[in-house]
Amino acid sequence: MKVFITGATGTIGFHVARAFRRAGHEVAGLVRTPAKAKLLEAEEIRPVLGTLQSPAAWADEAAQASVLVHAAVDYTADAAQLDGQVLDVFLRPGAPGAPKRTVLYTSGIWIQGDTGGVPVDESTPIQPHAKVAWRPALERRVLASDAVRGAVLRPATVYGRGGSLTAMWFQGAVEGDVRVFGDGANHQAMVHVEDLADAYVRAAERSVAGEVFLLADGSRARVRDMVDAVVRAAGGKARVTYVPPSQAPEAMRKLAECLAMDQAADASKARRLLGWEPRHTDFAAGAATYLAAWKASL
């Protein structure tokens, strides 16, 4: 398969691109700068210079692919508008008589809202947080398109390698002061980035269409227990402060509210339809390994 990926050097996109290449597929990845392009070339991924803001510059490249993966997000700009522009390209009909392309759209678990720590699945009505209130409409565009085989992937909190949101815990533990939004009694659904990437490859290779997949490792750890494991891995001397989201800086308020949600997810559908089985299922047990990986990625 020929695969085109946005956000190809991002937390999710880079590992998804690598997973497709390791599976033997021809992969091209959208990247902003020549310096980052070298990261892709080292992984046998062909870089395509461009930005989400100017899709016309890479639309022809995307048209050559049989699998299109949107793994980029830019929260500093109008994320809804940028995602819409990407879908304008990705959802275009192919040449007459050509097989339909597969489009994989990256959403996220925050669209489910606070689940009260009770596992939800794809049939559970969504209650998107304000930070991602724009995503349901874009999910519907992908799922309803007759021009492509569209699927939506909703990852849980991603960890592993560079750390993603867990990097805040690592940095605080190393510097001696960890600040956690919420009271720590909440659960945070988790998924290792390598397991997540495997799900994307499986969804593309099985040509799924019209499906939504929640992707979480099934763990039910409290945030407090995961943070304590990180602190121990860093030497056990860091102070941990739990901060109500209402006290977060205004620019971080919505993010803080999302991180304080009590969420759990059931990924049985991905197991059933994709044969997906996460190999990493206990963030706290591997905290020392993940901390070391985060340090090495700096």
Per residue in 38-93, pLDDT tens?
999 999 999 999 999 999 999 999 999 999 999 998 877 688 999 999 999 999 99
Q: Which residues pair with 69 in a beta bridge?
A: 5, 104
pLDDT tens-digit readout, 224-243: 999 999 999 999 999 999 99
Alpha helices in 161-245 (DSSP H): 167-175, 193-205, 223-233
> Dihedral through CA 31, CA 32, CA 38, CA 40, nearest 10?
-10
pLDDT-derived band at 19 (thresholds 50, 70, 90) equals very high
Torsions phi, psi of 69, nearest 5?
Answer: -120, 120
The residue whose two tokens read 């205004």 is: 250
Distance CA 104, CA 67 (A): 8
Phi-psi region of 265 (alpha: psi -120 to 50; beta: other; left: phi over 0): beta
Distance CA 69, CA 87 (A): 10
pLDDT at 97: 85
Q: Give every CB contact of residue 123 below 8 A, 6+ residues apart in sequence.
A: none
Q: How far is CA 91 from the centre of its chain?
A: 21
The one-character DSSP state at 250 is G
pTM for this predicted structure: 0.97
Closest CA to 205 of 277, 121, 104: 104
Are the beta carbons of 228 and 294 closer than 8 angstroms?
A: no
Query: What are the structural domains of the chain?
Result: 2-162+189-218+263-280 (3.40.50.720)
| Burial of 96: CB neighbours in 10 Å, binned 0-12, 13-18, 19+ | exposed
Enclosing H/E stretch for 123: none
Distance CA 196, CA 175 (A): 29
Distance CA 253, CA 229 (A): 26
Averaged confidence pLDDT in the chain = 96
pLDDT-derived band at 293 (thresholds 50, 70, 90) equals very high
Task: Assess whether pLDDT exceeds 90 at residue 282.
Answer: yes
pLDDT-derived band at 182 (thresholds 50, 70, 90) equals very high
Task: Assess whether pLDDT exceeds 80 at residue 283.
Answer: yes
Compute the half-sphere exposure of residue 183: CA atoms within 13 Å on the CB side of its CA: 3
Q: Give every CB contact of residue 72 below 8 A, 6+ residues apart in sequence.
A: 6, 7, 10, 13, 30, 52, 86
pLDDT at 138: 98
Are the beta carbons of 290 and 144 closer than 8 angstroms?
A: no
pLDDT at 36: 95
pLDDT at 37: 97
Are the beta carbons of 11 and 192 closer than 8 angstroms?
A: no
Write the CA distances from 34 to 51, 172, 229, 292, integer angstroms. Answer: 12, 32, 38, 28
Distance CA 213, CA 273 (A): 9
Q: What is the mean pLDDT of residues 119-146?
A: 97
Closest CA to 265 of 143, 159, 123: 123
pLDDT at 265: 98
> Would you state the structure tokens that stand for residue 234, as one six-digit string?
């860093």
pLDDT at 259: 97
Distance CA 167, CA 165 (A): 5
